[in-house]
Amino acid sequence: MERKNAWEKYDEKSISKVMDFAEGYRKFISNNKTERECVEEFVKMAEADGFKNLDDVIKEKGTLKAGDKVYAVNMKKTIATFVIGKRPIEEGMNILGAHIDSPRIDVKQNPMYEDSDMVLLDTHYYGGVKKYQWVCLPLALHGVIVKKDGTVVKVNIGEKEDDPVFVITDLLIHLSQEQLEKSAAKVIDGEKLDVLVGNIPGPAKDADDKDIKERVKANIVSILEKQYGIEEEDFLSAEIEVVPAGAARDCGFDRSMILGYGHDDRVCAYPSYKAIAAIDAPERTCVCLLVDKEEIGSVGATGMTSMFFENTVAEVMNCMGEYSDLIMRRALKNSFMLSSDVSAGLDPLFADAMEKKNSAYLGRGLCFNKYTGAKGKSGSNDANAEFMAKIRKILDDDNVYFQTCELGRVDLGGGGTIAYILAKYDMNVIDSGVAVLAMHAPFETISKVDLYEALLGYEAFLKNA
C-alpha cells in the first residue's frame, strides 16, 4: 500500500499554487516565532477575512447566524475562529486543532549576571529539545516585558539585518576531550544554556562617585534603559523567548522544501487557518482552534486543558440562541476533529528508528496517525476505524494525497498531541499533520507539497465531514 508522491500530481502550470502558498507560509514563520506573535498575526488575518471579534458581538448583544464568522482570543496566546453552519450546532462541528507554541529557550525572571567580563542571561529551556543543538547559533530575543504600570514593551531583537544577535557558547574542540566522553543528553547541561549579551564595561564610577563592581552588566542595564525604557527589575514580569535568528529559507536545488524554525506546529496551524478562512456558509459549523502549551503537556490557562474552548463554544451558542448545557454537550459529542500536529518524517540517515511501511515520507501528502503515544500506545487517542474510513472517503473524493504513519519504531519512543483532550468530550478525533525532518531542532525541514496537501485536506474536511 505504498502511497504516491504528491509532486507527481502537479504539472508546470499548477505547481505555482504549491509554491505560492508555501511562500506565504515561509514569510509567516519567519515573522512570527512566538505564540503571541502568531495570535497577533492571525487576528489581523481574521479581521481582513471578515471575522468579527466575539467579545464585540457579546458586548453589543448581537446574534450569530449561518455564514457569520467570529474569532475569540485567550490571553493573547490562543485563538479560535468559527464559521457558523446552516445546520443546528447540536448536530456537531467540524474542528481543526493545532498548536502554535514551539520548543525554545526562555529567559528566567532574574536572568542577568556578569562573569569574566561578560554578561549573560540565565535561561530555562521549554519543551523537548536536544540541548546541544542550541549552541553556537545566531539567536534572537522575542517576547514582551510588562512594566508595573501595565505598559507593554514588545521585544524583537536579532531579526533585522542591522540588529545584534546573541549566542550560547560551547567549549572549543581543543579542550573537549572530557566533554566528548559524555552522552549526548549530558554534553550540554541545562543550566549552561545561558545567552551571551555583552562585553563592554561601563564607567568605573556611578553618579555618586562610588565604584561600580559589575561594569559590563551596568553598561547593558544602561543600554536597556536608554533604548527600550526598561529597568532590570522589569524582567520579573517579562516573557522573553530565545529563538533562532533569521528567516526560514527554501531548501534544495529544486526549492521543494522549507528549512526553518517552528514548523512544529505552525506548519499545521497556518493551513488550518487558511482552510477555515476559505469556507463560506458550510453545512456544519466549522472551527479552527490554535492553542498554546502543547509542548509542555497542554497545561495552564492557554493550553488545551483549560476551559477556553468549552467556554467559547458556549458563548457562540448563546449568540446563536441555542445554548443549554445539554445542547452544548451534544454539540461537542457530535463533532469531528482533525488534531493537526506534525509527524516524524522518515530520514534515510536514521531509517533504523522507523518502521518504513508505517512511516511518514516527505512529499507523500497529509499524514494521519491513527494513534500516537509511547511504546504500548500510552497517552494516545487511538481513533476509531469508522472515523478513519470517513476521512479516507472525504480525501479520496477530493483527490487529496495522504498517508498513514506512526511516530517511530515500536518500543523506541513516541509523542503526544492535543487529540486525547478533545476526545474526552466523546467526539471523534484523529491526529493529522505534516511530516517533518529533525523535529524539535532549531531548524526543521518540511516539504512544500505536504503543506499544500494539508491545506486541501483541511478544506475538504471542513466542507464534507
**How confident is the model over 95-105, as pLDDT tens digits?**
999 999 999 99
Note the pLDDT of residue 156. 96
Note the pLDDT of residue 102. 97
The values of phi and psi at residue 224, to 5°, are -65, -40
What is the tens place of the pLDDT at every residue in 117-140?
999 999 999 999 999 999 999 999
Contacts of 274 (CB under 8 A, 6+ apart): 21, 455
What is the tens place of the pLDDT at every residue in 434-456?
999 999 999 999 999 999 999 99
Alpha-carbon gap, residue 316 to 318, rounded angstroms: 5
Cβ–Cβ under 8 Å, residues 256 and 7: yes
What is the tens place of the pLDDT at every residue in 355-393?
888 889 999 999 998 888 777 888 788 889 999 999 999
Domain ranges of the chain: 6-102+261-464, 104-244
Q: Which of 276, 289, 321, 420 is nearest to 90 (CA)?
A: 321
The alpha carbon of 221 is separated from its chain's Cα centroid by a whole number of angstroms, namely 32
| Residue 295 confidence (pLDDT) above 80 | yes
What is the tens place of the pLDDT at every residue in 224-282?
999 988 999 999 999 999 999 999 999 999 999 999 999 999 999 999 999 999 999 89
% helix, strand, coil for the chain, step of 5: 35, 25, 40
Q: Range with the lowest mean pLDDT among 54-63, 127-136, 324-333, 353-362? A: 353-362
Question: 308: part of which helix (H) or strand (E)?
Answer: helix 308-319
Alpha-carbon gap, residue 81 to 311, rounded angstroms: 14
Alpha-carbon gap, residue 458 to 276, rounded angstroms: 8
CATH architecture of 6-102+261-464: 3-Layer(aba) Sandwich (3.40)
Please state the rounded mean pLDDT for residues 157-161.
96
The per-residue pLDDT of the chain, averaged, comes to 95
| Residue 206 confidence (pLDDT) above 90 | no
What is the tens place of the pLDDT at every residue in 27-50?
999 999 999 999 999 999 999 999
* Integer angstrom CA distances of residue 85 from 54, 64, 219, 317: 16, 10, 58, 12
Alpha-carbon gap, residue 428 to 358, rounded angstroms: 22
Note the pLDDT of residue 78. 98
Contacts of 227 (CB under 8 A, 6+ apart): none
Cα distance from N-terminal residue to C-terminal residue, the chain: 25
Cell numbers at 391, concatenated: 476521512
Residue count of the chain: 465
Alpha-carbon gap, residue 232 to 244, rounded angstroms: 24
Q: Which of 23, 38, 4, 40 is nearest to 264 (CA)?
A: 38
> Residue 239: what residue type?
E
Note the pLDDT of residue 402. 96
Alpha-carbon gap, residue 245 to 160, rounded angstroms: 9
Note the pLDDT of residue 355. 86
Percent of the chain with pLDDT over 90: 88
Alpha-carbon gap, residue 286 to 274, rounded angstroms: 13
Q: Which of 415, 434, 273 is nearest to 342 (CA)?
A: 434
Cell numbers at 268, concatenated: 499545521
Which CATH number is associated with domain 104-244?
2.30.250.10
Question: 435: part of which helix (H) or strand (E)?
Answer: strand 435-436
Cβ–Cβ under 8 Å, residues 451 and 22: yes
Q: Which residues pair with 69 in a beta bridge?
A: 83
Outline where DSSP puts E strands in 129-237.
139-146, 152-157, 195-198
Output 169-174 pairs: Cβ under 8 A, ≥24 positions apart: 169/135, 169/136, 169/196, 170/135, 170/136
Cβ–Cβ under 8 Å, residues 245 and 158: yes
Note the pLDDT of residue 209. 84
pTM of the predicted model, to two decimals?
0.96
Cβ–Cβ under 8 Å, residues 304 and 312: no
- Work out the angle at residue 247's Cα, subtended by the Cα atoms of residues 186 and 366, and round it to the nearest 5 degrees: 80
Q: Which residue has the cell 536608554?
A: 226
Note the pLDDT of residue 303. 95
Q: Which residue has the cell 529567559?
A: 107
Q: Which of 59, 48, 64 is nearest to 285 (CA)?
A: 64
* Bond prior to 411 in cis (omega within 30° of 0): no
Note the pLDDT of residue 409. 78
Cβ–Cβ under 8 Å, residues 367 and 446: no
Q: Which residue has the cell 507527481?
A: 8
Q: Within the chain, how many helices (H) and strands (E) appear?
A: 10, 22
